[in-house]
């Protein structure tokens, strides 16, 4: 039996800027930490929804081994994403050692799920379905509900990971505020293309999963690793001058606009106590849950 | 020259529950701390807008001395407020030693201002106008703008004090989140009767004052005294089950509702790191500013 590849080896399978390998490495380490709570079996057939550039897909492909399979679905255009597009990133992974274990699907999640053959509840197509940091990309809570309901027809288990809205370290509080600020703006747009569209905490996501027929088996909250820069990225997006301009454009009602701007200002104010200011911002905790 | 009354003496002029004198005392101490940044002169004629039960009014009446005058305006009904109504609280102060220095006016702020005789800019009616923790009670940013513009016609100086949306102590962050959560709900209501209606941080309030013709002379941020329980009160209101019911009733759109609930959940999550939980919540910093 060969030694399983370590985080650095898996991270190198993704298309990355070698000058900033640390960023890719931290993202892979983070997915490996999530995986510890999911218990994905060797040879399992796993559905991943919202795979994006495949940061979690490689980790899942590693976990299921040569006998397993990952179907990785993302509705985004293949030319979406920076510095590499989804098409470039996914193509690169396909050419690597895990390529044969992964099937990429570029399709709206619900369309993909409804294209599957109806399965008897005793033998669903997938052993497990994973949504790792993809729930906040959904357009609305009702779309999350429909999706979780559709998954119930085709998967034995459901594994979720999402930002928890909780910050164990006070320096991660700006990340919480930046997410809420973005959510308050994005809910005003007919079509959002932000990283942060529908912000729901663990309580609301669990309510939706239960309403979709799932039963919560276990949940936990993990602190973000030091190298994870998501907090800094979101705070930067929220404090960028273009954000304020967008608020002016998109939120016509003065009272509603005041709420979004107050959120933004609270995010900025929360940097006050942080050593290094914006550069000292940490990433908030992550909620990890298993449903059956 | 007699010794000026201390905080305890001034606090006792307000109608209070003797079993909880500490609450009244802390509120008076806080107003005295604000006053230090305003430089209200003896014998001055001061207009106070949003006087409520008079917690700041007694402090101002003390500052202007026997030769001064405070006109204290509040639009709320005289039977509004708990545990004592505005009418009871103001009536009690009027019967005390500062009674003759204070004129109470129960009238919408703009109505009162437009009832004043037009004054030449060289000799306005009031030496100073004070809004201490009353700006968040306004129905909208545009009403604040009209009010600040109207004040400019009748007052030499403008003194503002409002919650800053900044928390020097991490245990005050739940207060910030509770205020933002309430603001996100209240902006959906045609008529809000909450303590927190229009939440604006220092930057936005300064923008409004400048747009109204005022010039920022000085500003500072002060930390709330230990005894000030406003943070705890607002967090309690936000986490009460009635709040969630109100969100269900008032916010019909699922995406918008999700934002308010995410804010509420972030407020709850922020209690995690606080010793004593909800009881350990501190009150956020206060912004104090002078305009001419």
> Is a pLDDT exceeding 80 seen at residue A256?
yes
**Would B30 be classed as within a structural domain?**
yes
pLDDT tens digits, residue range A26-55? 999 999 999 999 989 999 999 999 999 999
**Would B185 be classed as within a structural domain?**
no
Interface residue B196 vs chain A (CB under 8 A): no
Q: A254: which 2 tokens?
A: 């003065």
Question: Considering only CA atoms, which of B271, B285, B274 is closest in space to residue B228?
Answer: B285
Question: For testing the chain A interface, which of B258, B267, B270 should be mutated: the one with the most A CBs within 10 Å?
Answer: B258
Report helix, strand or coil for B235. helix
C-alpha distance from B138 to closest chain A C-alpha (Å): 11
A123 burial type by CB count under 10 A (0-12 exposed, 13-18 middle, 19+ buried): exposed
**Would B161 be classed as within a structural domain?**
yes
Query: Which among B168, B176, B200 has the least Cβ separation from residue A258?
Result: B200
B139 in Cβ contact with B108 (< 8 Å): no
Residue A44 structural domain: 7-168+193-228+281-291
Query: Which among A170, A173, A199 has the least Cβ separation from residue B258?
Result: A199
The pTM score is 0.95
Give pLDDT, residue A61.
97
**Would A68 be classed as within a structural domain?**
yes
pLDDT tens digits, residue range A119-169? 665 678 999 999 999 999 999 999 999 999 999 999 999 999 999 999 999
C-alpha distance from B71 to closest chain A C-alpha (Å): 29
> Which residues from chain B sit within 8 angstroms of residue A266, using beta carbons?
165-166, 176, 180, 201
CA-nearest residue of chain A to B182? A259
pLDDT band for position B122 (cuts 50, 70, 90): low
State the total domains in chain A.
1
ipTM comes to 0.94
Query: Phi and psi dihedrals of A20, rounded to 5?
Result: -125, 45
CA-nearest residue of chain B to A184? B259
Give pLDDT, residue A120.
64
Query: Which among B167, B199, B273 has the least Cβ separation from residue A259?
Result: B199
pLDDT tens digits, residue range B192-242? 888 899 999 999 999 999 999 999 999 999 999 999 999 999 999 999 999
Report CB contact under 8 Å: B270, A173: yes
A81 in Cβ contact with A89 (< 8 Å): yes
**Would A254 be classed as within a structural domain?**
no
For residues B49 and B147, what is the distance between their CA atoms, to the nearest angstrom?
A: 10
pLDDT above 70: percentage of residues in chain B:
97
Q: What's the gap between Cα A228 and its chain centre? A: 13
> Which residues from chain B sit within 8 angstroms of residue A174, using beta carbons?
none
Report CB contact under 8 Å: B269, A166: yes
A134 in Cβ contact with A50 (< 8 Å): yes
Task: Work out the average pLDDT over B232-253.
Answer: 96
**Would A114 be classed as within a structural domain?**
yes
> Which residues from chain A sit within 8 angstroms of residue B142, using beta carbons?
254
Return the higher-pLDDT residue of B62 and A3. Answer: B62
**Would B235 be classed as within a structural domain?**
no
Report helix, strand or coil for B175. helix
pLDDT tens digits, residue range B180-196? 999 999 999 988 888 89
A106 in Cβ contact with A141 (< 8 Å): no
* Count of other CB atoms within 10 angstroms of residue B115: 9
Give pLDDT, residue A81.
86
Report helix, strand or coil for B180. helix
**Would A152 be classed as within a structural domain?**
yes
> Which residues from chain A sit within 8 angstroms of residue B166, using beta carbons?
266, 269-270, 272
Report CB contact under 8 Å: A166, B203: no
Residues 254-273 of B with CB under 8 A from A: 254-259, 261-263, 265-266, 269-270, 272-273
Interface residue B244 vs chain A (CB under 8 A): no
CA-nearest residue of chain B to A197? B255
B32 in Cβ contact with B7 (< 8 Å): yes
For residues B131 and B203, what is the distance between their CA atoms, to the nearest angstrom?
A: 16
Q: Which of A4-8, B23-27, B98-102 has the lowest mean pLDDT?
A: A4-8
Query: Phi and psi dihedrals of B289, rounded to 5?
Result: -140, 150
* Count of other CB atoms within 10 angstroms of residue B267: 27
Interface residue B171 vs chain A (CB under 8 A): no
C-alpha distance from A266 to closest chain B C-alpha (Å): 5
B110 in Cβ contact with B30 (< 8 Å): no
Torsion of CA B142, B147, B153, B154, to 10 degrees: -170
Q: What's the gap between Cα A38 and its chain centre? A: 15
- Three-state SS sequence of chain A: CCCCCCHHHHHCCCCCCHHHHHHHHHHHHHHHHHHCCCCCCCCCEEEEECCCCCCCHHHHHHHHCCCCEEEEEECCCCCCCCCCCHHHHHHHHHCCCCHHHEEEEECCHHHHHHHCCCCCCCCCCEEEEEEECCHHHCCCHHHHHHHHHHHHCCEEEEEEEEECCCCCCHHHHHHHHHHHHHHHHHCCCCCCCCCCCCCCCHHHHHHHHHHCCCCEEEEEEECCCCCCCHHHHHHHHHHCHHHHHHHHHHCCCHHHHHHHHHHHHHHHHCCCCCCCHHHHCCCCCEEEEEEC
Report CB contact under 8 Å: B254, A200: no
Question: For testing the chain B interface, which of A263, A273, A275, A284 should be mutated: the one with the most B CBs within 10 Å?
Answer: A263
CATH number of the domain residue B52 falls in: 3.40.50.150
Give pLDDT, residue A213.
98
* Count of other CB atoms within 10 angstroms of residue A143: 17
Interface residue A252 vs chain B (CB under 8 A): no
pLDDT tens digits, residue range B154-180? 999 999 999 999 999 999 999 999 999
For residues A232 and A226, what is the distance between their CA atoms, to the nearest angstrom?
A: 11
> Is a pLDDT exceeding 70 seen at residue A4?
no
> Is a pLDDT exceeding 80 seen at residue B135?
yes
> Is a pLDDT exceeding 90 seen at residue B133?
yes
Interface residue B250 vs chain A (CB under 8 A): no
> Which residues from chain A sit within 8 angstroms of residue B258, using beta carbons?
140-141, 183, 187, 198-200, 204
């Amino acid at each position: 039996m060969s030694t399983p590849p370590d985080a650095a080896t898996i991270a190198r399978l993704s298309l990355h800027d070698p000058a900033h390998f640390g960023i890719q490495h931290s993202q892979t380490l983070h997915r490996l930490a999530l995986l510890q709570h999911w218990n994905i079996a060797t040879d399992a057939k796993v559905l991943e929804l919202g795979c994006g550039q495949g940061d979690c897909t490689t980790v899942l492909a590693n976990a299921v081994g040569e006998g397993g399979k990952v179907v990785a679905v993302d509705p985004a255009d293949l030319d979406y994403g920076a510095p590499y597009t989804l098409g470039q990133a996914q193509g690169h992974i396909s050419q690597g050692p895990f390529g044969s274990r992964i099937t990429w699907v570029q399709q709206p999640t619900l369309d993909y799920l409804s294209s599957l053959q109806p399965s008897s509840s005793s033998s669903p197509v997938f052993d497990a379905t994973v949504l790792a940091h993809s729930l906040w990309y959904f357009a609305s809570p009702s779309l999350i509900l429909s999706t979780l309901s559709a998954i119930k027809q085709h998967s034995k288990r459901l594994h979720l990971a999402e930002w928890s809205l909780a910050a164990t370290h006070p320096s991660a509080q700006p990340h919480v505020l930046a997410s809420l600020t973005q959510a308050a703006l994005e809910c005003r747009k007919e079509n959002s293309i932000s990283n942060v569209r529908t912000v729901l905490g663990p309580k609301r996501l669990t309510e939706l999963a239960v309403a979709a027929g799932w039963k919560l088996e276990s949940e936990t909250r993990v602190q973000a690793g030091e190298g994870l820069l998501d907090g800094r990225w979101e705070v930067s997006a929220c404090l960028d001058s273009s954000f304020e301009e967008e608020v002016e454009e998109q939120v016509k009602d003065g009272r509603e606009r005041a709420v979004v701007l107050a959120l933004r200002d609270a995010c900025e104010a929360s940097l006050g106590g942080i050593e290094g200011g914006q550069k000292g911002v940490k990433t908030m905790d992550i909620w990890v849950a298993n449903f059956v």
